[in-house]
Structure 1
Amino acid sequence: MSNRMEEQEPVEKWLQELLKLDEAEHSMTEKQLKIVQAAADIFAQKGFAASSTSEIAQRAGVAEGTIFRHYKTKKDLLLSIVTPVMAKLIAPFVLRDFNKVLDSKYDSYDQLLRAIIVNRIEFLEKHMQIFKIFIQEIPFHPDLQEQFQKLILSKVLEKLTVSVEKFQRDGSLIGWSPLTIIRLSVSSLIGYVLARTLFGAKDSVNWDDEAEREATITFILKGLAP
């Protein structure tokens, strides 16, 4: 686990990459960029409630008054900075490479599941900081939920539905609603990935990753068999 953690991209790196995506729409001054970087960094480490504008200002190397010239309260600051950043950050990073998986053709549902597992584990190991912000804050911010629904969930569901319906037509999946099949599959996959992340590197836990992965896939396939 330690080796995987060392491979995570620092906040500064993924923020710089994010901002490159947005250059055509908006150009930040150097001072604004420092504030955004500092806010996102502290937000990832401490969460919304524990973050303070004074700490953000100190890390950004600006006066706290500079921040309040643009934002009336800490909430305004964090939501104005982090919500747009998260909205634009999540979509390209979550869908990057994943679109290739979703658009590929598979002979069986278990092949699709395996491709998703491998792809998303690689993503999480590199971008755990992003995932941490997302999981911590999305339950409490309707703006983030709306952006997630619009930018990611709808696109992923559309593509997965096409695959599910294909396997239903060839008789390998039960004739339930594709949304139900996707929900049950994703719930099991997320459970495996989270358990792997939490327990996979602990010496006190006898974790056989290959066996757990195969058990998860078998569980899904048997549960969704016609």
Structure 2
Amino acid sequence: MFKDDQHLTEKQKGILAAATELFAEKGYAATSTSEIAKKAGVAEGTIFRHYKSKKDLLLTIVSPTMIKVISPMVKKDINKVLDKEYDTFQDFLRAMIANRITFVKKNTSLLRIFIQELPFHEELKKQVIEQIGKDVLERLREVIRHYQGKGQIIEMHPDTIIRVAAASTLSYILAKYVVFPEADWDEEAEIERMIQILSDGIAVKNSD
């Protein structure tokens, strides 16, 4: 991730790579700068010559990644789904969930850092909202209104439906790829159950 950045020295690249791996594996709070230095093969003092603090190191990893890599990647990947027309809301959900799972598989280490540290660092929250949240949220609202207009899902505030669907998807992804990565789950069946539960809750009921 950092090896092609010409603005970094080889030592900085090693420090950032080591910190990324350790933050993802152990969490920010449980990782010491001495561990990062040991893994990077440098003296601990070398870290502080380049970065003011461990938090500065975290933000150096996350900020450029959010701006240069994660944000465009998230938007580009999501747009692959949002730019298509699906006959049913269930088909849209199926495509969106599969899209997010593919993204997570490709970026597991970085996403672990975001998931672990986002609640505790206001700077990261602001970056997520500014770089990803606003644009994606508005497009998702349009999708919800589209299927409401087709009479497929109930008239409810789009943000509520988005939160419920996002929470279900995120909880599955966290369980499968972060908390229990070795679990032998039938992913296709799990996704279909999740779609069924979501659909049953927000689908328009036919009155007899």
1:111 partnered with 2:58? no
> Distance between the aligned counterparts of 1:16 and 1:93, measured in 2?
19
1:48 aligns with 2:48: no
CA distance in 2, matches of 1:146, 1:70: 24
Aligned to 1:69, the other structure's residue is in SS state: helix
Gaps of 5+ in 1: 1-13
Separation (CA, whole Å) in 1 of partners of 2:180 and 2:43? 43
Unaligned runs of 5+ in 2: none
1:153 equivalenced with 2:153 (yes/no): no
Q: Secondary structure at 1:97's aligned position in 2? A: helix
CA distance, structure 2, for counterparts of residue 196 and residue 51 of structure 1? 24
Which residue in 1 is equivalent to 2:123?
143
Within the alignment, does 1:212 sit opposite 2:182 as a pair?
A: no
CA-atom RMSD in angstroms: 2.4
The answer on whether the counterparts of 2:18 and 2:40 sit within 8 Å (CA) in structure 1 is yes
* 2:203 is aligned with 1:225: yes
Cα separation, 2, equivalents of 1:163 and 1:135: 26
Q: TM-score, normalising length from structure 1?
A: 0.77
Aligned residues: 202
SS at match of 2:50: coil
Equivalent position of 1:127 in the other structure: 107
1:70 aligns with 2:53: no
C-alpha deviation, 1:37, in angstroms: 1.7
Report the CA distance between 1:86 and its aligned residue. 4.3
Structure-2 change in CA distance of 1:192 and 1:35 (3 Å): closer
1:173 CA drift (Å):
1.5
Q: Is the 8 A contact 2:21 2:109 kept in 1?
A: no
| 1:7-26 map, 5 Å | 14-16=1-3, 19=5
What is the percent sequence identity of the aligned residues? 48
Quote the residue 1:84 is aligned against: 63
Residue 154 (structure 1) shift? 1.4
Go from structure 1 to structure 2 and tell me whether the alpha carbon gap of 1:85 and 1:58 turns closer, same or farther (over 3 Å shift). Answer: farther
Cα drift, residue 192 of structure 1: 3.4
